[in-house]
Each structure stands twice: as structure tokens, then as C-alpha cells.
Chains A and B, each alone.
Chain A
Amino acid sequence: MPISIEMTAATAGMESATLVRWLKAEGDSITEGDVIAEVETDKAIMELTAPAGGVLGRIDVPDGTDEVTVGRVIGWLLAPGEDASALPSTTANPPAAAAPAEPEPKPEPTPAEAAAAMPAAPAPSPAASAPQPASTSRPFASPLARRIAKERGIDLTTLTGSGPRGRVVRIDVEDLEGQAHLGQALPGQALLEHSGMRKTIARRLTESKQTIPHFYLTLDCAMEALLEVRSTLNARGEKAKQPYRLSVNDFLIKAVAIALQEQPAVNVSWQETGLLQYTHSDISVAVATEGGLITPVIRKAEEKTLVNMAAEVADLASRARAGQLPPSAYQGGGFTISNLGMYGIKEFSAIINPPQAAILAVGAVEQRPVVKEGELAVGQQLTLTLSADHRAIDGAVAAEFLACLRDLLENPLSVLV
């Protein structure tokens, strides 16, 4: 009997992915575990492995198909001795029918259970905790949207609805209509198709800004001492057996990791069922890539040495830029640092990365006039802006955290112990 190859979920809660290309052709022999196709999720490109051995009998979903639903059959493996006549017809396998069944509803935990579970609970992955439209056997769409889609041959299952409960409304099909007529853009215009990653960023940040009550705290740090320590260490690092070079950002990550341990009230996540408290300082570091922003996670940063951490950050950043981060590398952080200092940005306010409750926006270290003991002087200054979720963190708590962070940065030796 032929074996179906299905789109599998790379992460919990993943609903669909783009099938970038097949690495095998129809008729190729395949061993179980062979990489047979490349799949792009909203965060990374992944490899799809064969669920069994055999001959690739038929490809149902061609290269470059967007939003292939998890569970949808994308191809068939034939056992030895079978030929294509053993394959089911393609119409017998509509994508909707192959969609995963809705999971059984879980009973709500009692408050006591929820509280007891909290400290040990693993950090939720963003995908799992972000609100998702309920899995349905058909897309909700307004009558008008359905009529327009039918007239223009648009597959409603490929759309994300803007209406209540994810209902596809006119604006959604008309936006798509604009994309479909890319070649007809007016002179001086070009309509660039959204990547899956772009859509995810748009959706999650919109949701964040609309649902999380942000507040912002800003303070300046004197960086002379830290720059001096960094300079001393880097001079030694050049000559070390394993050479290293520390950035200001590495100090920052380490300082934040320590500050989070000292102010655990900031190392939290707002959940409808309760406040999730993280044990470790798992710090997401924003990395700009060609496709968009991605945030690999430095786990247990409070336990790592500066040197080890610097190496890890460099590795994650380069893999991220290559689009090769596995989901496990960018899921589950508890706090995000976004640093635009390298562009000379003095200060900015960042949007919280849900379900986290805070993000630190870091500007450039620069020389600024400062007043020291009544005298005007030139100082090396860094401006930090913390965005916090007021549902989870009160202003005074966040201020204490930020003050603690400044203290660590201004007394950098404390970061080393």
C-alpha cells in the first residue's frame, strides 16, 4: 500500500509552511530518513525527511506552494512492487480533509493546579502561546469575500482573515487581488509579495501593540568603566589560545541576565491563566536578516561566561542570516534585547515580543556632554529604553530592574563575577 508523505509540523502550533522545493524526483528511490524536500516556515527553512523507504510515486504539491497546511499530503511513496496505479486519485485528497482534527479541549486547570505548575512549567514557545484562529474544516469568509474569491479564482484557504474570528473579508481578497496583478502595478510602483516571515512579523507585532499595554522607561548609563574593562579584556583576547573579542552587546546580555535574576519580577510572561515566572535568564537577541527580524535565544545566560556567550551569539547570528536556524533556536526566550547602536541610533522604543513581558531597546555608546559634580564634562553615554507589559510588570518594578542594570553596566566587574 502506498504511504502518504504529509506536511509535518516543525513546531507545536505550526499550521502551514511553504514547500520550497523537492530534493527528490518522482521515481527516485528513498530510504527512510532521507531529506526529500525543503520547507520554509515563518521563521526558517527546514528539511523534510522521508517517513519511510520506497520509491517517490507521485508529487501532489509542487515546488513553491505557499501555505501548505500541516497534515496535507504532499506526495506518495510506493512500496517495492507497487506502481502508480496503486495511488489514490488526487481529488480523493482535498487539503481540507487532510487538515488535522481539532484537538480535544483540555479542562481548564484549577487556580491551585495552575499555581503549582507555574515554576516548573517550561517556557512556552511563541507559536504555541500566540492566539491562533481555531482549526476549522473550512475558512470563514464573508459572502462578499467568497463571491469575489470565486469570481477571481482565489483559494480562500490561503488567506488570513482580518474580520472577527479570522473571517476573510473584502479587504483580504482585495489585497490579494493587488498581489495577483503585480505585473500591472502603476509606473513607479512595485508590489512585493509578503514572505511567510514578513506576515508573521506583521501579525505578531500588530497583535502585541494592540493587546499589550506598553509603557516605556528610559535612562542613561555612563559607559567609561565598561569600555575600559572591555578594552583590557579584548587586548588579552587577541593573544589568547582561543581568541575572543567581546562586544558591548555581550556585556549587555550578561548584565541583563544577572539583573533578571536579581529582579525576577521582570522575568515573567502574562498569561490569561496566571503570571508565568521564568527560572533562567533566556535572552532573545534581535538579529536583522534579509527576510526580517529574528530572535535567537541565549539560554541560561546567567550561567554563561562572557566569552562563551560571545561565541554563541556570533554563531546564532550567522546561522540566522543564512536562514538555517531550527525553530528550537528561536523559540522560548523570556526577555529580548534589541540593539540598534551600531547604526548610531541614540535611543528608541521597541515593541514587546509576545508572550514576553519586556524588551530592552539599546542605542549607541557615544560621547555626550554630562554634568559631573556641577561641572560640564564629556562622557561616554548609552541610553536604554525598556518597554514593559503593564499587565505583568508595574512601573516601580521595571524602574528597579533598569536601575539595577545601570548599576551593573557602570560597575562592569560585577558582570564578571
Chain B
Amino acid sequence: MPSKERLEALAPWCVLESTTTDWTGTNAKHLGTLLTSMQIIRAFEEAVLELVGKGLVHGPAHSSIGQEGGAVGSILALRASDQINGSHRGHHHFLGKALHYLMPDGMDPANPINPDIQTLLTRTLAEIMGLAQGFCRGRGGSMHLRWDEAGVLGTNAIVGGGVPMAAGAAWAHRHAGTGDVAVTYFGDGAANIGSVLETMNLAAAWKLPLCFFIENNQYAVSTEISEVTAEPRLSSRGQAFGIPAWKVDGMDPLAVNLAMEEAVATMRRGDGPTIVEADVYRFFHQNGPLPGSAFGYRTREEEDAWRARDPINRVAQQMIDQGMIDQTGIETLNTAARDAMQEATEALVDSSGEKPAIREHLWPSADFRDAHIRGDLTEFEGVRYVEQEDYTGNLESRRFVDTVAEVMHRRMSQDDRIVVMGEDVHRLKGGTNGATRGLSEDFPDRCLGTPISENAFAGLGGGIAMDGRYRPVVEFMYPDFMWVAADQVFNQIAKARHMFGGDSAMPFVLRTKVAMGTGYGSQHSMDPAGLFATSPGWRIVAPSTPYDYVGLMNSALQCEDPVLVIEHTDLYNARFPSPTNDLDYFIPLGKAKVVRKGSAVTVISYLSMVERCCTAAEALGVDAEVIDMRSLDRAGIDWDTLGESIQRTNNVLIVEQGPLGTSWGGFLSDEIQRRFFDWLDQPIQRVLGGEASPSISKVLERAACADVEEVEEGLRNVMAAQGRPLPANAN
């Protein structure tokens, strides 16, 4: 018989319940604030449902009626400079934090509404209805509520999607040493998604002051929690990651408040993240004004039992019992809250006609559609742009990758805001390729090796960027890993500025390397340019020389938008004339470079294919103009340079190394034909790899990628189609 020893998890896990003495020991002001805040939120949610019933809310409105105790009970344990974010069901988080921000000294049930609160309610309602005066100018709606000033980082429509971003805010708090904390609210449905679990691990590993607040309302839409997990006590997740956890009755706002006080104290002490699980219940269905029982997934009896434990009544009754308020006082509060919502509704809705309608002038202008996808680049005013031809510093022959590490070292030594993170970036003498060499030695607290959790650490970087105090440089060891981080990369980081109304910056740099040619096969060989170019918000640079790398990396770090910096393993160990004593110049985003003049065809390429294009043109003696695009995103296409060339050569060949499906040239050729149709003497031609992702087999990998030979073939085709075929023996 083997012997066994029972193991205990490292982190404490408890159920916390309030006692009579807790209630009697809580002063009237605190309970009054709990009551008033919850009642205002309840009145707000009822007004929203009424507007939903009248067809005046476009899209879903996930009501929090019944769940107010969890949000308000926890938020009252926070201070103004603490931050929260939340889920698609987030009205109560948003209002709870906003009310607490406006009324830090508490609220009075006898006089619950003041002009600031009235404005808050009207603007929040306007946002939910998609109107211009909303907190996100009507872009965000019900599920994307952000008020940075009040510490609401933004609620989120992707289940678990906001959690890594909150970890970024927590990282910034910890690194700044302010003692502030972040709280991320999510439901039982999010407790099993990767973003949340990855972030729990990362936050615990890095001791981030982040509270994972689980509002366990028992149902993910209609799916009961016990159907989808063998451990429905969701605070148990802390045991896996070493995170202390509290389980509490969310219908008891005081118990929530007490648990949260303990959690906040833990975080402010620097002991890392916490989990608070509050059992709550939404009285209505997932969204809309009908109860869940109407959809058959739960019973009226169950709903009645939970309604009997309404958190507002619980506090009100306690206050009445203790003589802190009477029934008239309760009525006064309810009436005031309802009147405030009536006023807010009337400000937005014209009820004079046959049917109530949104006041026409309140809609955002349709031409606001694409505004704020990106910043305006005013952050570049006054920077020093120097092209290699005009560079007066020293150029020495160096390996490309050495310059990659050197420019980052230079920037980090000049700018304390920069923080580098990624897998193994802090070890192996600069990560797997040497691109971060020297950083962890000189900046140990700003060069961070991450767990293999791209979604979590990308999102954490996004949270840092959105916070604004620091500038993350995140590395994906291979671009293909963006697929596992796709939610954070494309749904969160790319969209944040636009979706939240345009006021928030996202100064996020993502570095990665194309590794076609290294034999890493189907899942490590993509070129991410084409995919990122489909994503509004991202800027993309792809330097083909160390000189351009320095200028473009400086621009990427200066930029207030997310910038993908694409590197290539083929370039890393190649030697180039590289700048050594001046690493502070910039190269503009959105500026292409003509690297070979010609008149017969405009060859458009980037990264390692630029040199191959020149080689092929020389070999065949084709008078090709080769343009190194350098910036690849839609806003970064240098139409001045391209247009001048295309109108002169009348023929276009777009050259890429990688496969067809995720290729970059498709969108570009579409744009070119629409802008320059009348100047084209033939369809836009392209050089690409095959359809499949490159395989590990050396022969198959070569066949899957374009190289000089394929560029030559492309040049032959493009010349033949303009009636000027090259002689067969050219070359």
C-alpha cells in the first residue's frame, strides 16, 4: 500500500456571512448609502426595461435587477482612484462606481438626487440608447460603458474579455505603488473561459491587486451553472492559482461589503489578487422585461424565493427595524429615484406624438461612424524624422537583431514608462532570438517573462496601455499565437478607442517575427500583416532594414494607437549598415520608400521580400520600381508614393512571401484598383506563397513560400501582359 498525504491548497477559501451584530454595528449613513445607491440603480433599470418595451432601446439591455447587492456592496469598499470593469450585464457596476465617485462621503435616502447624479443618470441612459451625449458618445451602448474619470474602465460584451484588461490596470497600480486596486466583475458564465483562468494565474504570479468578483447569478442565459461545471462553487477557482477567496450571499449587501473590505485590504497590502463570489439572482431573463420562468428554464417558485430575498428590501427592513428610516422615508427615496428617471427619460424621449420617440437631434451624426478608429497622430508634432540618406550618425555593419535589442534598450533608458513582456523575453540572453538582449539585466522590473498565456498577457498589456501611465511592448514569440489571443488583440485592443467613444488612447506595441523558412511548420509560420490589416485600430510597420527598424520602433512607441511591429527571422542574423550612436530619430508612420527606381512596373512589398524583389528585377533586367511599404495598415498606406508610381508605370505587382488566405495584398489590390483603375494597363498582379500554411518539410516549406524565383516569374508575367514579354533567356 502506498502512503498518502493529504495536500492543502495554499490560499484560504471561506464563506463569509453577516451576523446581527454586523448589521447593528453598521451606522445609518453606510446603510443609507447602500440603500440609496441600490434604489437608484433599481429605478434606472426599471426605466430601461420600460424603454425596451416601447422599442426605444436598440439592441440588448441586460438588466441587473436583483443583483444590485453584489455591485453596490463591493463598490462601497473601494475608493475613487480604484478602478473597475464589468461584463455585458454592467449597468449596476457602472452606476455603482459612478455614484460612489460622485458621492464619496455617502448618500442620503432623504435627499438622494442632486444635479450631478441627475446628469449621470441621463448620460448613462443616453449611452444605452445610443445617443451622442452618452459617456461613449452613443457608440458603446448598454454593454460598453466607460467613464475613466470615475474609475470605470469599460464594461465588455465578450464574456471574460474585460478581465485581462483589468489586470493591466492592476499592474499599473502596483508598478506605480499607489495602493489602488482594480476589480473585474463577471458572471458565472465567464468562470470557465480561458481569459479569466489565464488572468487568475498571471495576476497571482505577479501579485497584482486585482479582485475577480464573480456575480454567480446561477444561469448563463438559460444554462444552469451545475450543468457546466463539476465545482459550481466558483470561488474554488482560487485554490488552483493560490488566490484567497470569499464566498458570500450576494442578496446580503452588507456581507458582500464585509467580504470586499477584507479582499481590498489584502490587495492594498500587496498580497496579490483576490476572488469574491457573490450568489445573486437576476429577477428577469438574460435581457428584456420578461422573467426567466417565461422561457421555461426555471420556475416561478424559484424566482419568488429569490425575490423574497431582494437585497434592497433586506437593507430597507434592517434600517426600519433599527429606526434609521420609516416607510415614508422609503417611499420618498423610491419616488425621488423614479422621478429622476422620469426626468432623464423626458430629456431623451419625445412623448408628445402618437408614439414616444427618441428626440431626433440627440442621435450622433452618421459621419461620426469611422471617427476615432485611430488617434490623430498629434503626438508626433516636433519629432525628428530622418531617412537613412540624410542620417549623419555612424552606420556600422551589425546583425539586424542587435539593433532590435539596442533601440529598445535606448528607449527604456530614456523612458521609464516602457515595459516589455512576453515568453522568455527576460532569459536566454534576450529571448529566443536575442531581440531583448540586455533588457532584463538593466530593467529587471520592466522586462517581464510571462506564462504561456497570450490572451492574458496581451490583454494585460492592453489594460496597461489604456491606463496610460505605462507603455507596454508585448512580444508574441510567433505571430500564429495571435489566434489564441484573438479576443484581446482584435476585440479589445483594436476596438477600444473607437468603441468607447474615441477619448481613450491605446499606446500598445506588439512585436512579433515572421519565421517562414525556419521549418517551424504550419502553426508557426504565418505573416500576420494581412490579418491585422483587416482590423481597424491597428497600425502595422514592417521594417526591412535596421535603420528603418529604429525609426519605426521609435514611432511605434510614440504612437497613441496599437502598433504591430513585424520582424523576420531571415533578417535577424543578416548584416546591414546599422545606426550606432543615434537611435533617437523617427521614421513617419504611413511613409513608404522607393528602394529602386523604375518605369515598367510598380513592385510593392515589405519586410524580407523587398530585397528579393530588387534581386529579381536586377537578374531579369526589368525596369521595375520597387517600393518598400514599411507601413501596412489601411491608414498607413502611402498613397502619395504609390499613386505617383502607379500612374507612371501603369502596372502593379504586389509581392508577399506567405500564403494566399491571410495575405496582405488582397485588400491593397482592391484599394488600388478603385483608386487607379484608369491608370492600369492590366489587372493587379500578385506574387504569393501557396494556399496551405508552410509545412515543416524543407521542400514543402520552400514550395509554400514565395522567393526570388517566384518574383521573377511574377515580373515575367507582368511584362508579358503589357505586350512586352521578356526574352526566354533573360536571367
Contacts and interface: CB of A to CB of B under 8 A. Distances in A.
Contacts of A146: 678
Contact of B680 (A143, A161, A162, A164): A143
A169 B679 contact: no
B679 A144 contact: yes
A142 B724 contact: no
Nearest to B728: A210
A172 interface: yes
Nearest to A170: B681
Contacts of B723: 161-163, 169-172
B677 interface: yes
B682 interface: yes
A40 B534 CA distance: 58
A203 to B, nearest CB: 13
Interface in B702-731: 720-724
Contacts of B681: 142-145, 163, 169-170
A147 interface: yes
Contacts of B682: 142, 163-164, 167, 169
Interface string A164-176: 1001011110000
B554 interface: no
A185 to B, nearest CB: 22
Nearest to B647: A144
Nearest to B723: A162
Interface in A115-161: 142-147, 161
B201 interface: no
A143 B722 contact: no
Interface string A206-232: 000000000000000000000000000
Contacts of B724: 171
Interface in B674-703: 677-682
Nearest to B678: A147
Interface residues of B, number: 12
B650 interface: yes
Contact of A171 (B678, B680, B722): B722
Contacts of A144: 650, 678-681
Nearest to B722: A169
Contacts of B677: 143
A189 B679 CA distance: 30
B311 to A, nearest CB: 68
Contacts of A171: 722-724
Given A144-B650, A170-B650, A164 B721 contact: yes
Contacts of A162: 722-723
Nearest to B676: A143
A143 B672 CA distance: 13
A171 B600 CA distance: 12
B538 to A, nearest CB: 31
Residue of A143, A145, A164 with highest tally of chain B CB at under 10 A: A143
Contacts of B721: 163-164, 167, 169
A143 B683 CA distance: 9
Contacts of A164: 682, 720-721
A376 B722 CA distance: 57
A59 to B, nearest CB: 36
Nearest to A173: B681
Nearest to A162: B723
Contacts of B650: 144, 170
Contacts of A167: 682, 721
Residue of B679, B721, B723 with highest tally of chain A CB at under 10 A: B723
A172 B720 CA distance: 13
A313 B478 CA distance: 78
A142 B723 CA distance: 12
Contacts of B720: 164
Contacts of B680: 142-144
Interface string B114-136: 00000000000000000000000
Nearest to B720: A164
B681 to A, nearest CB: 4
Contacts of A163: 681-682, 721-723
A169 B679 CA distance: 11
A146 B678 CA distance: 8
Residue of A142, A146, A169 with highest tally of chain B CB at under 10 A: A142
A163 B718 CA distance: 10
B170 to A, nearest CB: 56
Nearest to A175: B723
A209 B127 CA distance: 73
A170 B601 CA distance: 13
A169 B680 CA distance: 9
A164 B681 CA distance: 11
A145 B678 CA distance: 8
B205 to A, nearest CB: 58
A144 B680 CA distance: 5
Contacts of A143: 677-681
A161 B650 CA distance: 17
B622 to A, nearest CB: 15
A163 B720 CA distance: 7
Interface string B660-683: 000000000000000001111110
B620 to A, nearest CB: 18
B316 to A, nearest CB: 75
A146 B680 CA distance: 10
A162 B682 CA distance: 11
A141 to B, nearest CB: 10
A167 B720 CA distance: 12
Nearest to B717: A164
A148 B660 CA distance: 33
Interface string A285-311: 000000000000000000000000000
B682 to A, nearest CB: 6
A143 B682 CA distance: 8
Contacts of A169: 681-682, 721-723
Contacts of B678: 143-144, 146-147
A63 B677 CA distance: 37
Contacts of A170: 650, 681, 722-723
Residue of B679, B681, B721, B724 with highest tally of chain A CB at under 10 A: B681
A169 B722 CA distance: 6
Contacts of A142: 680-682
Contacts of B722: 162-163, 169-171
Nearest to A210: B725
A175 to B, nearest CB: 9
A142 B681 CA distance: 5
Interface in B439-484: none
A146 B650 CA distance: 13
A212 to B, nearest CB: 14
A144 B648 CA distance: 11
Contacts of A172: 723
A170 B722 CA distance: 7
A192 B677 CA distance: 33
A169 B600 CA distance: 13
Contacts of A147: 678-679
B720 to A, nearest CB: 8
Interface string B268-290: 00000000000000000000000
A207 to B, nearest CB: 13
Interface in A50-94: none
A94 B678 CA distance: 25
Contacts of A161: 723
A172 B721 CA distance: 12
A146 B681 CA distance: 9
A171 B677 CA distance: 17
Nearest to B679: A144
Q: Which 6 A-B pairs have the closest CB atoms?
A: A162-B723, A171-B723, A144-B681, A147-B678, A170-B681, A142-B681
Given A143-B678, A170-B650, 7 more contacts: A142-B682, A143-B677, A144-B678, A144-B679, A167-B682, A169-B681, A169-B721
18 contacts: A143-B680, A143-B681, A144-B678, A144-B680, A145-B681, A161-B723, A162-B723, A163-B681, A163-B682, A163-B722, A163-B723, A164-B721, A167-B682, A169-B681, A169-B721, A169-B722, A169-B723, A170-B650
